[in-house]
Amino acid sequence: MGIMAVLQSAQRNSDNSDTTSRKSKATSAAKTTKSASKTSKTAASKPTTKRKRVDPETRRMNEALNGLVVEAPAPVIEVKEPGEFGRINIMDVTPGEERGTYPARVEIGEPFKVTAQVFIEGRTKVGATAVVRNPRGRETMRLPMTCTNPGLDRWEVTLKCGEHSDLKPWEDGYAAVKRQLGIWTVTVEGWEDTYTSWLHDARIKVKVEDDVENALNSGAELLARWALTKESGITAKDRKVLEQAAETMANKELSPKERLAAGDNPEIAALHETHPLRDGLSASQPQRFKVERPKSSFAAWYQFFPRSEGATRDPQTGKITQGTLKTSISGLERAKAEGFDIVYLPPIFPIGVTNRKGRNNTLVAGPDDPGSPFGIGSELGGHDTVDPLLGTMDDFKALCQRAHELGLEIALDFALQCSPDHPWVKQHPEWFRHKPDGTIAFAENPPKKYQDIYPIDFNTDMPGIEKEVERVLNLWIDAGVTIFRIDNPHTKPVRFWQDVIAAVTKRHPEVLFLAEAFTRPGMMRALSYVGFTQSHCYFPWRNTKEELAEYLPVTNGDDGYYQHNTFWPTTPDILTAYVRDNGIAGHCVRAVLAAMGSPSWGIYNGFELLENKQRPGFEEQIDNEKYEVKVRDWDKAKKYGVAKMLTALNKIRRSHPAALSYHNLTVLETSDPNILAFARHTPADLTGTGQADTLIVVVNLDGHDAHQAMVHLDLDKLGLPTDRPLNVRDELTGREFQWGWDNFVSLAPWADVAHVLTVQ
């Protein structure tokens, strides 16, 4: 076959390849074929009167290549059904869907990693490209993949679906964000990298003067075919570059090195990087991603009890006057000042009287003990009623309105449990578990007993319970709630939550759900499958370097496509020995780890005031706010400096795209067992600024003594420059340093508990 015949065949193959790669649905392909058939008939009925004009560059190239004989390029092989291979083999695309049922979940604009095995037979080189399409099938991103493990044919790339946004559901412009939510797809395209394969062999042959003429003629043909391939998407200017290079390479009057240089130079290399010749183009099955709204992954939570916010103590009698929803405005303003964007409120419903718990969970309540807000329900109402001691439904709506004015979302705790006084007990006694003697059993988790709570029995009338819960949740959504924190969802049927969340989000797709589920991995994964957007996790108990170095990559890895762990240093239920024993430095350390170790983190108020005394024998605070009203002097927060740290961390998070993702964390090597370091890196293509963003976090885990360590950076792996020192800036102090592969760090708890470094 002559060279011109080959080029004509390549042109036809290119046109077919271009159509195949851009049509993802059979119906679209059928319409294209039908249209093409009509066009061909029309063209056949009319005589051709014009011949396509050939420009001088192309004519000279054709003359230079005339008479050469070359191999045919790898064809595109049609894939007619799932499971068939194309010309290039593509396998094990990650993240993979669970049984093809539950797509991976990402927040809009959140960078995430896709990997795949891409290979071909023999020693031929291949390339890979990832293509992102929105719910309407429109291509929004196309990026080359990088081979990170040649021995395993493993390729990877970092992508994103849509652009990051901080818009709230009630704000102007959110409608445009909402239109981008839903099921997106990522397709991995594999192709024979004919240019790289040729270049590898041609360099060797020219160097050793072996079969040089054939090697250079093959290169000339390849560049000429590349210039004619529409699928490459090259411009007219680039086409001329390739044609001139092909002509030069075919010129036997030049030396072999001169001819090779025409196709082996930075200009051609750059063109290969952006618009490669892709022979044998093959595509994977589209991988689905569920793209969720802002704050589904990247969020900063702040929790306070409304009854304590604004509470006062009479200096004469010591009697406490509890706070209300109206006085809780101060809590909103504090959360805003510290940079948080979600305010989480414990249950605000009426509290039962029967078996009401006293201070520190005692079985007998005093006359002034308010009881636990988790003992829900009294003669005043149940889950659909505001506790009159806090105010009215109008007061709650006003609180939500003020939160929205401050740019804060309101998350409400929903605990599906009832006090013996709850209206449901009389209205629906069949909803509760009974003992053999006919009495209702109180909740137990031996040896723990919850005498103030009746557990619900889902085996008698689950559809009825679902309907009632949906009604209640919709009531609070109408009042201004956009997020629900669900108490102990793992003690209820997964199918129950699946039904409820599906029904609620069908009507209110903007609503998010946080699972307070400290339980087995399988249950936590199942809850994420059925709609829990975020989850509490075991971060509070990961305190040593070894524990954190193991846990951070799990949270920020493939698990993060489903279970979005939110890191809380403390909660009303959790106060660990580490926080108890490490003072101000320990509080700041845990805040840094929480804020920078996960895109989602939260603080329970009082953390700023160093409330770290444990109830003897328990990992929770003494004088626990769950059982009493707290009167706090917030003016004291300044002397500890913890609030200042929280504010700084939230500012850093908002300013750096690298903090947004569950899929970009790398633990770094350090030489001291008390120094933990990790990096977050987002490439320039995905930051929205055109500049790569890298954060390096180094923490001294010892709250009492100074420690020094060497911190090793794998510059290549992190995509950082290797030919010059890195200028880094500590976002906590403003100090600047120069870093490289190995770096000395000294951190003292009385000075700097951590560095949060930005690569300049």
**Catalytic residue list:** 487, 516
Encoded amino acid at 121, one letter: E
Q: What is the 3-state secondary structure (H, E, C) of 26-39?
A: HHHHHHHHHHHHHH
Q: How far out from the chain centre does Cα 125 lie?
A: 32
Q: Are 388 and 395 in contact (CB under 8 A)?
A: no
Between CA 25 and CA 283 the distance in angstroms is 13
Instruction: Please enumerate in sequence order all residues whose Cβ is within 8 A of that of 124, keeping only pairs 6 or more positions apart, or say none.
Output: 192, 193, 197
The number of helices, as runs of H, and strands, as runs of E, in the chain is: 21, 30
What the block records as the tokens of 493 is: 């049927």
Sign of CA dihedral 359, 360, 361, 363: negative
Cα–Cα nearest to 496, from 533, 534, 456: 456
Q: Are 736 and 728 in contact (CB under 8 A)?
A: yes
Residues marked as binding for alpha-maltose 1-phosphate?
A: 357, 417, 452, 488, 626-627
Instruction: Please enumerate in sequence order all residues whose Cβ is within 8 A of that of 722, keeping only pairs 6 or more positions apart, or say none.
Output: 715, 716
Residue 285: phi, psi to the nearest 5?
A: -65, 140
Q: Which three-class secondary structure state does DSSP give residue 411?
A: strand
Between CA 707 and CA 521 the distance in angstroms is 35
Q: Which three-class secondary structure state does DSSP give residue 328?
A: coil
Cα–Cα nearest to 1, from 86, 67, 75, 83: 67
Q: What is the 3-state secondary structure (H, E, C) of 476-543?
A: HHHHCCCEEEEECHHHCCHHHHHHHHHHHHHHCCCCEEEEECCCCHHHHHHHHHCCCCEECCCHHHCC
Residues marked as binding?
A: 357, 417, 452, 488, 626-627
